[in-house]
Structure 1
Amino acid sequence: MPLDESHLVVRAMAHAFARHGRSLPPIRLVARNAIPHGRGLGSSGAAIVAGVMAAKGLLEPEVELSADDLLELATELEGHPDNVAPALFGGLTIAWTTPDGPRHKKLMVHRGVSPLVLVPEHEMSTALARSLQPQSVPHEDAVFNVSRSALLVAALIQSPELLLAATEDKLHQSYRAEAMPETDRLIRRLREAGHPAVVSGAGPSILVLASDPSERAEAVRLVEDVAESTWQALPLAVDFLGATVVRTTES
């Protein structure tokens, strides 16, 4: 990680200050990177949100940054709101862009949903993963994914028992399978066993949206039994609060 002003958190802070006609003051930054990098887990989006939120804390009360302001700043740096919106607001966040800027809608995830992330030792280039997508797809595949997208919202907020069907996909994972063969093999094994497993972001990590903690534990055991390399299992909880700023004083 860079240790100068090119650090992504610092760049995000400086961007927020510059947008309000101010220079970033001298700072000492300590970053505890809990999100593995290059694994399809949105680490860059989280870093950008951390920087924007830190800027918010430093600029107030002279400058008030609304939720829309924060999303716009973060999206300008990330290029799209897909990752920064949920990092900012938590829950199940639907994000879209308009001529007037990015917008979002936050929904509450059903408390029965138990996320599991399986992280391999190797990284995957997001640019490479995206390059494997075709420029056009069959009409029936597009229709298939639109219906699954709608079903996924219902499964996440109301009916977790539908998560296996809701996570079916014909637009992304099959095209990228050749670049991450073990990810693809494990996802197939997990889904054959009834676990709602998908590629996390651009990969190579795997996201399992289990419907209860016991199902999550079964998925971990399956991967431990059949994986050819080391995978780190991260049983996580859905964050309902979103990004926050806490002011502290040093003694």
Structure 2
Amino acid sequence: MKIKVPATTANLGPGFDCLAAALSLYNEFEIEVVPNAKFKLEIFAEGVNAEDISKDGKNYVYKGIKKVFDLCKTQVVPLRIRIKNNIPLQRGLGSSATAYLAGVLAGNILCGEVLSEYEVLKLAVELEGHPDNVVAAMYGGLCICNAYDDKIRFIKLQMPKNLIVLTIIPDKKISTKKARKVLPKSVEFKKAVYNVSNTALLVSSFVTKKYEFLKFATEDFLHQPYRKKLMPWMDKIFDICLRNKALCCMLSGSGSTIVSIYKDSELNNDLLEKISFEINKFISCEYKILRFSNKGTEIRQ
């Protein structure tokens, strides 16, 4: 079977651990049962950061598969897994979520689809540790998530087609674990209120296409001010993009990628060249022009 899972950008500024949107960048996985094989597991990876992808039982795709087999109290069959990795690792674009989700989906199919769609989602979220990236990767669009009382609740909204997403990917990995360690244990009540109001305004701005509010609606007081200790260039990149026609800028997930949103008529090659020239003066980055993807995970058997 072949599984194609989109990258995701989580938080979108103020929506910490509750907002994520799918992007038009994909990881592709091929899972093959090899009957009577002399090996238990064979993993091949190509593409971005392929050398950093585990080729043994620690592989996230395999972990997802094994989790389902364990629930079914069945031994995992000999497998050959091929990974075409297009999403950079540890850059805040949901690479781990694509792997866990692909693994759980594949494991469920191999076990005879014993799990419901919701159970598949919940299992992938348990492996990932938080719902936002997994939900958006599975369903596409903009997903508003709530994980409370051991239940996952979410609503998917269609993202506008006339927006371009410029992903600015620094040549520096930031692990989610490390990025969470710098967060405070508590914040001022006033700052929490700002984030709640900005999250509501942000979602409404996308729905109504009132993009003039995006710059203010993406301001965050819960995580970005603390995470810039790990990414001191963050404010500089925000400033450069906002001075060059960006509707808004935000950290993608826990970083290090920064996402800048434009109207599709505004971002052209000349402007991108100008932006990249300014940013590359102080940090080396890769630039990808993407769109929001309203399509989630695709499976071909």
Deviations 1:82-141 (A, max 9, x none): 211111111111111132522221111122222221111111132222122111112221
Are 1:51 and 2:103 counterparts?
Answer: yes
Counterpart check, 1:107 vs 2:157: yes
Residue 222 to residue 66, structure 1, CA distance change in 2 (3 Å): farther
User: For the aligned residues, what is the CA RMSD?
Assistant: 1.9
Counterpart AA for 1:187: F
- 1:91 maps to what in 2? 141
The reply on whether 1:12 has 2:96 as its aligned counterpart is no
1:116 aligns with 2:166: yes
Q: 2:229 aligns with which of 168, 172, 178?
A: 178
What is the distance in 2 between the residues matched to 1:112 and 1:13?
37
1:178 Cα deviation after fit: 2.4
> More deviation in 185-194 or 236-245?
185-194
Evaluate the alpha carbon distance shift between residue 116 and residue 57 of structure 1 in structure 2; reply closer, same or farther with a 3 A threshold: farther
Aligned equivalent of 2:272: 220
Q: Give the deviation of 1:154 after TM superposition.
A: 1.3
1:213 to partner: Cα distance: 4.8
Letter in structure 2 aligned against 1:167 = T
Count, aligned residues: 245
**Counterpart residue number, 2:46:** none
- Matched-pair contact (CA < 8 Å) for 1:54–1:245: no
More strand by share: 2
Q: Aligned partners of 1:131, 1:213: CA distance in 2, in Å?
A: 39
In the aligned structure 2, how far is the partner of 1:45 from the partner of 1:187? 26
Are residue 41 (structure 1) and residue 101 (structure 2) matched?
no
| Runs of at least 4 residues off by over 6 Å | none
Shift of 1:63: 2.6
User: Where do residues 162-241 of structure 1 align in structure 2 (5 Å cutoff)?
Assistant: 162-195=213-246, 196-215=248-267, 220-227=272-279, 228-241=282-295
| SS in structure 2 at match of 1:40 | coil
Deviation digits for residues 210-244 of structure 1 (CA, Å, limit 9, x no counterpart): 23252375763343121223211111122222112
CA contact (8 A) 1:110 1:160 kept: no
Task: Structure 2: give runs of 5+ residues left out of the alignment.
Answer: 1-52
2:184 maps to: 134
Q: Shift of the alpha carbon at 1:179?
A: 1.6
What letter is aligned with 2:65? M
Q: Which amino acid aligns with 1:72?
A: K
Query: How far 1:16 sits from its partner (Å)?
Result: 1.7
Contact 1:210 1:216 in 2 (8 A): no
2:128 counterpart residue number: 78
* CA spacing shift, 1:85–1:167, aligned 2, 3 Å: same
Counterpart CA distance in 2 for 1:218 and 1:132 is 37
1:37-62 deviations in Å (ceiling 9; x for gaps): 01111111111111112223323xx3
In 2: Cα distance, 1:68 partner to 1:192 partner? 43
TM-score, with structure 1 as normaliser: 0.90
Distance 1:240 1:82 in 2: 15
Unaligned runs of 5+ in 1: none
Report deviation, 1:201. 0.9
